[in-house]
Amino acid sequence: MLNSITPNPDFRIRHATGEDAALVVDYMKKLGTYQKMADKITATAPDIKRLLDESLGEAIFGIYKGQVIGFLYFCQKSSAFTGRSGLYVDGFLVDTDVRHLGFGKLMWAYLSKLALERGCLFLEWGCLDWNTPAIAFYRGLGAYSVDDMTIFRFTPDALKANALTADTASLREIP
């Protein structure tokens, strides 16, 4: 378990392990509630444990005076457009009662440093259009929004249906 000391002596950052899966799910549920989409959070502790254990996802926790007060969930990604690697943040939340105390900025600074140490050249994440406090926070960190793009995603059922449309006999490798 990796811990990191911050400029605030009462605040530290800790990397999650598979044993923290339930805590990650708890924070995702808090985030879903804040984003008015709690019904969209379907991850379970075993799901997150597998992602963490297989290094398919990672999380850090912000700990203030011994209590977890925030989290960031992220994973590695790359871009064929730029030929660069980066980190994609899928979840970020600081508890309401300790917002505006600088802990979110410390967590993003830590993640930025981690990305650079790993040779990454960008951080990327999404933010709901109505979430103006978060947008202002991110812009205050120096981030910009990519406004000319729409994200598409297959659901598990659509993914399976699309896969079935392929003529698998014609999708074999050619030597």
Q: Which active-site residues does the annotation give?
A: 138
Do 10 and 65 contact (CB within 8 A), yes or no?
yes
Do 113 and 77 contact (CB within 8 A), yes or no?
no
Tally DSSP H helices, then E strands, for the chain. Answer: 5, 6
Radius of gyration for the alpha carbons in the chain, expressed in angstroms and rounded: 18
Do 70 and 94 contact (CB within 8 A), yes or no?
yes
| Separation of alpha carbons 18 and 55, rounded Å | 10
